[in-house]
Structure 1
Amino acid sequence: MLHKKDFKYNGTPVEQAKKALIMVHGRGGFAEDILAVADHLKVEGFAIIAPQAYNNSWYPLSFMAPEQQNQPWLDSAIEMLQLLETELNQKGIESRDIYFFGFSQGACLTLEYVTRNAKRYGGVISIIGGLIGKNINTGNYLTDFQNTPIYLGTSDPDAHVPVDRVKQTAEILNTKNARVELQVHKDAGHVILPEELGRANNFIFGYSGMENEKP
């Protein structure tokens, strides 16, 4: 495995948690930075884990390059997420209680991993990402999500992830029995928006921020 096992942890210790959030950083990013985003998510009681990519990148070229041109790094990154999910399962956290958050290159990797391994996950949040490959190989996606909620947030335009690829990804996820919410923000830039985190709290974690308000 080219990517070394390098997991950063936050939140509740895995051995004590009933749910887990896996957070996948973007190109040039650090696990510690993506972990900080969880401060804005309704994940009290969750174990929060972020793998660190070798040399801060999961694969060398654009996610829309021919898949073979990003090998063997792409397969190694997918293997890394599989290892992490398996470890969580072995420590008593079922896949239906595992959630994913990915940004940019990390969002692309996250979507590719969960779609190749589709099952009932807790939920998936993808900020500016899409399924990987010059042409999406739907033959890689053999199982279904069993109504897993998946939030896709993106900007139109975005310098790295065309909005058409995000929309195509949403269509494929729907065919795999995911419950998809897609939000396209005009000229928002290549960033994580507060509006996206708020919507993810509501759609993925079932939190509207209104519980303490009086009727």
Structure 2
Amino acid sequence: MYTHNKNIITAGVPVAEAKRAIVFLHGRGSTAEDIISLNNHLKVDDAALFAPQATNNSWYPYSFISPVEQNQPALDSALTVIKDLVGEIISSGIPQDKIYFVGFSQGACLTLEYITRNAARYGGAVAFTGGLIGKEINMRNYKGDFQQTPILITTGDPDPHVPVRRVEVSEGIIKKMNAKISMKIYAGRVHTISQKEIELARQLIFDEV
């Protein structure tokens, strides 16, 4: 079973000059370079950009709705990579409430899992097609208060990898933890990120500043 080494791609504004930071989390089979290039479409121009690379291009081996133990130790390793990266960003002078997260598919699931296990005031988060991880959702993992952090979850209906029901349940849990959450379900949308979703993310998450 693989675990993840620290391998972070950076782009955007140098962290010492940036007003905010965005952590991008790629999907299964993809790369850090690929997901960080999403900012060419999001066009956030005042941020330091960070994208960790998963070992073998996958954060965990099985579906996100498999039993959690089947996705260990890779899942815990992935969460540690994000935690360490967030700590480094804060140490470099960008406060937690100016840190944003953007993930797609497996990266979206990881985004939601990380922030909900560590709920606090962040700049915002976008989960393009994802939900909380596990066959059963373990509420004991989720603690903290989002303090009205803006969070957007989008998905297609149906999606081949992410059941809409899990997206809806995830939204409900995160909302109860005091997030300013928005959910958008696109009928018949294929497993990708559409221009409409990018525009929605800009409007709801990144243009708030």
Same fold (TM > 0.5): yes
SS at match of 1:121: coil
1:210 counterpart residue number: none
Structure 1 residue 206 displacement after superposition: 2.1
SS at match of 1:164: helix
Q: 1:118-157 residue pairs with structure 2 within 5 A?
A: 118-157=119-158
Structure 1 residue 177 displacement after superposition: 0.3
1:57 counterpart residue number: 58
SS at match of 1:16: coil
Q: Distance in 1 between matches of 2:81 and 2:177?
A: 23
Structure 1 residue 144 displacement after superposition: 1.3
1:213 counterpart residue number: none
CA-based RMSD of the aligned residues comes to 1.0
Q: What per-residue deviation string (whole Å, max 9, x for no partner) do you get for residues 166-197 of structure 1?
A: 01110001000001110000010100010000
1:171 counterpart residue number: 172
Q: Distance in 2 between matches of 1:135 and 1:144?
A: 22
SS at match of 1:9: strand
1:21 counterpart residue number: 22
Structure 1 residue 205 displacement after superposition: 1.3
Q: Distance in 2 between matches of 1:2 and 1:200?
A: 31
- Which residue identity does 1:185 align to in structure 2? Y
- Which residue identity does 1:175 align to in structure 2? K
SS at match of 2:37: helix
- Which residue identity does 1:166 align to in structure 2? V
- Which residue identity does 2:5 align to in structure 1? K
Structure 1 residue 135 displacement after superposition: 0.6
Share of identical aligned residues, percent?
50
Q: Distance in 2 between matches of 1:102 and 1:58?
A: 12
Q: Distance in 2 between matches of 1:27 and 1:13?
A: 28
1:96 counterpart residue number: 97
SS at match of 2:121: coil
2:35 counterpart residue number: 34
2:117 counterpart residue number: 116
- Which residue identity does 1:177 align to in structure 2? N
**Contact 1:156 / 1:184 at 8 angstroms: preserved in 2?**
yes
1:211 counterpart residue number: none
Q: Distance in 2 between matches of 1:68 and 1:2?
A: 14
- Which residue identity does 2:34 align to in structure 1? D
Worse-superposed segment, 81-90 or 8-17: 8-17
Q: Distance in 2 between matches of 1:180 and 1:18?
A: 23
Query: Stretches of 4+ moved more than 3 A in 1?
Result: none
Structure 1 residue 36 displacement after superposition: 0.9
SS at match of 1:126: strand
Worse-superposed segment, 197-206 or 34-43: 34-43
Q: Distance in 1 between matches of 2:165 and 2:11?
A: 35
1:187 counterpart residue number: 188
Question: How many equivalent residue pairs?
Answer: 207
Larger Rg, first or second structure (1 or 2) = 1
